[in-house]
A and B are shown apart, each in its own frame.
Chain A
Amino acid sequence: MNTSVTAPVQLHGLAATRLRLRAIARRHAYVLLRSPHRLFDVTLWPLVDVLLFGALAQFVGNGDPSGASQAAGYLLAGIVLWHVIYQSQIALSTGFLEETWTRNLLNLMVTPLREVEYVAGVALFGMVKLVLGVGVMVLGALVFFSFDTWSLGFGLVPIAAVLLLVGWAVSLFVIGLVLRFGSGAEALAWGVMFILLPLSGVFYPVDSLPALLQPIAKLLPTTHAFAALRDLVDDKGLNWVQVGIAAFGALVMVAIALAYLTRMLRMFRRRGYITRYT
């Protein structure tokens, strides 16, 4: 054999963690760039949502400029911020599902990659998709309906941060379900958000929901985040109380989702579920 034996220089500690995070993020960038149909999730569907809800706002406020403006505020700001949860959730969930679809899970699990590093790497690239998707929506709302999302001010930032956390919490829970129940639970990656959507009062106050559902809705951090968003639309400034409740609820959700995921991962190892993906 004519090969020279070159000992590789291996990084350790934080430097190795950073390298692994970047490697996972880059791996998912390849997936997106080399499967153009996936760009639909990030660009086309968000734009379709802007058109749908923007047109609805025009119709609802027909003949009344102030009514149209308020409806546009509620509906367009609502759908743009909804996509913060949706895109962050779907990016992380489908990122993990990609490993199961391509039977890459075993390859990854035998490396020094830690679970938290994997999740952080996928979430990191998910942020890129999120910026792209929400950017398209903000631009679409401005071009088609003259609605400037940024006119709502920097109060949007803490609200978006809370929604981002909720999106990640939901996807951690979905990953836990897939680890436990296998590919059958995949449908939840997309479906679970549609349970959250009506209950969170994205476009309306939760008082509009049936009385039976209102107590459930009020438990959701998303409900308080969107209530804070409507205050912004109504020029009432940032409602820190609502944002605080939402942030606390989001952190509780993340903690519960992490505990569930850890438990499911332990079960995955104990029951040898890896054989489903080999």
Chain B
Amino acid sequence: MAPEVVLAARGLVKDYRRARAVDGVNIVVHRGERVALLGPNGAGKTTTLLMVLGVVSPDAGDVTICGYELAKKRSRAAQCVGFAAGYLPLTERMRVREYLTLFAQLYGIADPSPQIDEGLERFRITDLGDAMGTELSSGQRTLIGIVRATLHRPRLLVLDEPTASLDPDVAMRVRTGLVDLSDEFGCALLMTSHDMSDVERVCERVVFLSHGRVVADAAPREVAARYGTGDLESVFLHLAERHEAAAAQQSDHP
């Protein structure tokens, strides 16, 4: 039996003013699958994620999460998804435990204490429960953000740059925690990252975007082989060069 599809994004298109940010992106993610969405700056990764999350509406195409069509059943679909981004701050004037309780309750969990304890323990930050959000380092905030996103056991965890500007120790904790989460309860991951070594360690599939289009969608080694390189880093650099060249050509001939 084919594994359950938790995310199906079909033909996503998004235009911002005169520029096309996303141009017909198709992504299907199955239960427990760990997928990286990669590409140079401006390739359309974050816009794609925001459409998958229902925060930006596509100009064309549709998104289905756990069988719920996002455009029609956003709240039901959101119940199946968790989201964290390295750049988002924690809510001010709340202690970590209060903050986590707030978000757990938004997902309908009346008594989230066991999940909060478990999440803090998983990322080895049990000492932060009583800290104020403003007292945390960026690494700690990222970890708390991931705990927040996983309290309700999402079937799809969406992460935008989860290891950006983290020191190696915290980045490793994030990677290990994510793989454990995925293995333990079959949570699928869809993450963006600029750190290709992170991607190679966490994800079993990569989707490369360039100019808003999917240019590769396969296992990391397969993609590297297709571009005649040994690793994802070289594929990334190759695509980034092409991306820049195309952008320069476009600005020469508007």
Contacts and interface: CB of A to CB of B under 8 A. Distances in A.
B215 interface: no
A90 B94 CA distance: 22
Contacts of A263: none
Contacts of B225: none
A111 B94 contact: no
B64 interface: no
A2 interface: yes
A159 B196 CA distance: 64
Given A102-B92, A107-B88, A16 B56 contact: no
Chain B interface size, as a band, is 35 or more
A27 B114 contact: no
Nearest to A118: B106
A5 B152 contact: no
Interface of A: 1-12, 15-16, 19-20, 22-24, 26-27, 30-31, 34-35, 102-104, 106-114, 266, 269-272, 274, 278
Interface string B28-69: 000000000000000000010010011111010000000000
B88 A8 contact: no
Given A1-B180, A111-B107, A112-B107, A278 B88 contact: yes
A110 B78 contact: yes
B61 to A, nearest CB: 14
Chain B interface mostly: mixed
Given A106-B85, A112-B75, A10 B108 contact: yes
Chain A interface mostly: loop
A26 B55 contact: no
A103 B110 contact: no
Interface of B: 14, 16, 47, 50, 53-57, 59, 75-76, 78-79, 81, 83, 85, 87-89, 91-94, 98, 101-112, 114-115, 118, 121-122, 148, 151-153, 158, 176-177, 180, 184-185
B181 to A, nearest CB: 9
Which of B81, B85, B103, B105: most chain A Cβ within 10 A? B105
Given A110-B55, A110-B83, 19 more contacts: A1-B177, A2-B121, A3-B180, A9-B111, A10-B79, A10-B109, A11-B108, A12-B108, A20-B105, A23-B105, A26-B102, A30-B93, A30-B94, A103-B89, A109-B54, A110-B81, A110-B158, A112-B107, A278-B85
Given A6-B114, A112-B78, A274 B107 contact: no
Contacts of A22: 105
A110 B57 CA distance: 13
Nearest to A114: B75
A183 to B, nearest CB: 16
Contacts of A7: 153
B121 A269 contact: no
B108 A3 contact: no
21 contacts: A1-B122, A3-B122, A4-B118, A8-B109, A8-B114, A8-B153, A9-B109, A10-B79, A10-B152, A15-B108, A16-B108, A23-B101, A104-B91, A106-B83, A107-B83, A107-B103, A110-B55, A112-B79, A269-B55, A274-B55, A278-B85
